[in-house]
Amino acid sequence: MSDYPHLLSPLTIGSIEVRNRVLVSAHVPGFADNHLPGKRYIAYQCERAAGGVGLQITGGTPVHKSGLLSNNKDSLHNLNDDIVPGYRKLAQAVHAEGGRILAQLAHSGGTTLINEPELESWAPSPVRSEITGGIAHEMSVAEIAEVVDAFGSGAERVAKGELDGVEILAAFGFLPQAFMSPLTNLRKDNYGGSVDNRLRFLLEVLEVVRYGIGPDRILGVRIAGDEFNPKGNSLDDMKVIAQKIDASGLVNYLNVIAYHSIDHTGRAKHWAPTPTPHGVFVELAAAIRSVVNVPVFAVGRITNPDHAECILAAGQADMVGMTRAHISDPNIVAKIKRDAAKEIRPCVGANTCIANRYIGKPIRCMHSPAVATPGTTLIPAKDPRRVVVVGAGPAGLEAARVAAECRHKVTLYEANDETGGQLALWAKAPSMSELGGIVAWRMNELNRLGVDMHFSQRFMKEAAYDLDIDVLVIATGAIAHCEFVGDGSVVVVSPHAVLRGEVSDLQSAIVWSDGRGQAGLAAAEILLHNGVNVEIVTSDIAVAADLDPTNRTAWYQRLGKLKCRLTAPFVVENTKNGTVTLRNVYTEERFERESIDLIVDWRGCRSNDELIKEFDSAVFEIFKIGDCVAPRNVQIAMSEAMSIGIRI
Ligand SMILES: Cc1cc2nc3c(=O)[nH]c(=O)nc-3n(C[C@H](O)[C@H](O)[C@H](O)COP(=O)(O)O)c2cc1C
Ligand code: SF4
């Protein structure tokens, strides 16, 4: 018998049977062609269907120009019949793999400001969004009817495009939730006030969508099980709303998430990064499930099939969303079916995927560079070559893995006794330990693939010529660089020294965090956990300004709880007898901080390029990847590693 009897059992949703209980919930990968499902978009969805997913849902797709999600052309639009042929190709591709796919129809309400002429956002009431800082146009009753009609037309296109149905996005502060929530609905007419009035818009939408798709396709609604805001809908309120939606007889399932996107935390926490607990919203799904008859889906950091199986076995949900889990590894179902769960590349909650969407780029995954090129498979080499990889940071490990997957004979050298480079160091911070999974998974894979690994062994140029090498991959990474020089009264170290546990007996520290990424924050967190008073100083406009809002929100909450002081926009100017002078980079104003024991100087790394310089010419082919060429981020280092691994 399978280890996953519940997860792998089929589920009937309305009149359609899906082959298992694994859901890839709605997400916009940013792969659309001019708002339509083109080759890359279809390959992305198809890859997940081929991996065995039961049900998948397109990202939020606007049905009316007053509810666009962004200015980008890389997400789908269902505004006219142009989408129908693409939908049809998408449906056929997913169905050919045995999968099922729904379109998520959406209207962004007041959550997005497009800032283009004649594209104003519409919302129930003129309530200021903390995210955009803007106030949307208050809809008239005629405009409400126009948007309801647009949902109906969108649904008809879904049916013409042969998709399996529709999910209405009534969460994330989008229009249906904006109407349902007292936070964003201040109306005094038939669409505001009582629960029934606030629910009226959604029910009108469901009526026309059901009519548009017909009785046999799936119609589901995504709701927030709790808005976690004292003035918003609580779980008890949402139970009542869920029962009313169920009682309408129009829908086939409810998909339960949380929050409202009116404020910074709500916007960030519905897709929270590590270390948010796995299964963060399962209790909400279970509570909603206890009061309705239709199947209920649970989502939120469910990354492990064993965990998914337990949720189903405990009756907390009927289907389990594993969305980022499938960005990281599209073959989870296929792997558990062939008893290879250990090979699943686990989503570690880095949120590089989401960070890229926030800046309007297609998703990338810190753990899986292949996401950028859906449909690419690793082809075994006809003439396997002897490949030496130097450096076991993320880039070196990934290059070795991909080369070994392509059947080359790979040897890996690492000068230290630890693998994972800087990434492994960050993972030493209490909140970042999950990132260690990126290294652990690769080590597991290298062992499985029989890569010959040598640690604590510096790779020397002379030795290279004694070895029989066809290809040398240099991935020696970067080294933390402390360039601040004070009067010697305050110890100056890199964050890496703090992360390695090389400092102790401190009272007060300043972390000068001008380098990109999370190294400075990780060092600060370790010091705070050790009882040190910490002030983080940056010349940026704010601490962690370079991070995406989900990670920044999580860091601010953690650092705030630990009473960390955040100071911007300042630099450390000098030290004198244990007093540190900070200088405002714009006003030149200066402040002094007395009795400081430690300055953590994080202004980035320098490439460790010694080996590159030594091998300026050689008889074998040489590739240089990652930070040893120029210090950048893990996502870029991994992408370079993957493409080199394939090119070999
Ligand atoms: C890149 C990205 C884009 C997303 N876009 C949408 C969207 O368009 N509509 C939606 O309802 N949820 C969207 N989500 C949220 C996911 O559906 C899901 O609720 C969230 O990622 C939490 O589930 P997970 O922990 O399994 O990833 C998006 C998630 C990601 C990672
Ligand atoms: S970037 Fe991080 S959160 Fe996103 S899918 Fe990859 S591992 Fe998961």
Ligand with the closest atom to the CA of 438? 2
At 468, the pLDDT band (50, 70, 90 cuts) reads: confident
- 534 pLDDT more than 80: yes
- What's the mean pLDDT in 505-526? 96
- 332 pLDDT more than 80: yes
Domain-wise residue ranges, the chain: 11-372, 386-479+613-647, 482-603
482-603 CATH: 3.50.50.60
Could you give the CA distance from residue 133 to residue 14 in angstroms, rounded to a whole number? 41
Distance 638 CA to ligand 2 centre (A): 13
CA-nearest of 243, 202, 210 to 225 is 243
- What's the mean pLDDT in 22-44? 98
Query: 538 in ligand 2 pocket by Cβ < 6 Å?
Result: no
- What's the mean pLDDT in 395-408? 97
pLDDT of residue 435: 97
Q: Which of 323, 329, 352 to mutate for ligand 2's pocket (most ligand atoms within 8 Å of CB)?
A: 352
Q: Of all atoms in ligand 2, which is nearest to the CA of residue 352? A: 1
- What's the mean pLDDT in 218-242? 98
H or E, element range at 13: strand 11-13
The 3-state DSSP composition of the chain as helix, strand, coil percent (nearest 5) reads: 35, 20, 45
pLDDT of residue 232: 97
Distance 234 CA to ligand 1 centre (A): 22
Q: Which strands sit side by side in the sheet containing 533-537, from one edge to the other?
A: 491-493, 598-602, 508-513, 533-537, 565-567
At 144, the pLDDT band (50, 70, 90 cuts) reads: very high
pLDDT of residue 289: 98
Residue for token pair 């349902």:
180
Q: Of all atoms in ligand 2, which is nearest to the CA of residue 438? A: 7
Could you give the CA distance from residue 436 to residue 75 in angstroms, rounded to a whole number? 32
Per mean pLDDT, which of 28-37, 69-78, 468-477 is the most reliable?
28-37
- Average the pLDDT over each of 22-36, 141-155, 240-254, 259-273 and give the range with the smallest value: 259-273
The CA–CA distances, whole Å, from 349 to 11, 78, 162, 274, 496 equal 28, 30, 34, 5, 22
* pLDDT tens per residue, range 568-624: 999 999 999 999 999 999 999 999 999 999 999 999 999 999 998 888 766 789 999
pLDDT of residue 617: 67
Ligand with the closest atom to the CA of 108? 1
- 431 pLDDT more than 70: yes
Contact residues for 530 (Cβ-Cβ < 8 A; gap 6+): 504, 506
- 102 pLDDT more than 70: yes
Q: For the chain, what percent of residues have pLDDT higher than 90?
A: 91
Contact residues for 407 (Cβ-Cβ < 8 A; gap 6+): 380, 381, 384
- 16 pLDDT more than 80: yes
- What's the mean pLDDT in 329-340? 98
Phi, psi of 253 (to 5 degrees): -160, 165
H or E, element range at 203: helix 195-213
Per mean pLDDT, which of 118-122, 366-370, 460-464 is the most reliable?
366-370
Distance 119 CA to ligand 1 centre (A): 25
* pLDDT tens per residue, range 148-200: 999 999 999 999 999 999 999 999 999 999 999 999 999 999 999 999 999 99
Pocket of ligand 1 (CB under 6 A): 25-28, 59-60, 104, 169, 222, 257, 271, 299-302, 321-325, 353-354, 357, 363
Which CATH class name applies to 386-479+613-647? Answer: alpha beta
DSSP string of 149-160, one letter each residue: HHHHHHHHHHHH
CA-nearest of 426, 317, 241, 359 to 23 is 317
CATH of 11-372, one of 3.20.20.70, 3.30.413.10, 3.30.70.141, 1.20.1730.10: 3.20.20.70
Whole-model pTM above 0.85?
yes
> For residue 592, how many other CB atoms are within 10 A of its CB?
11
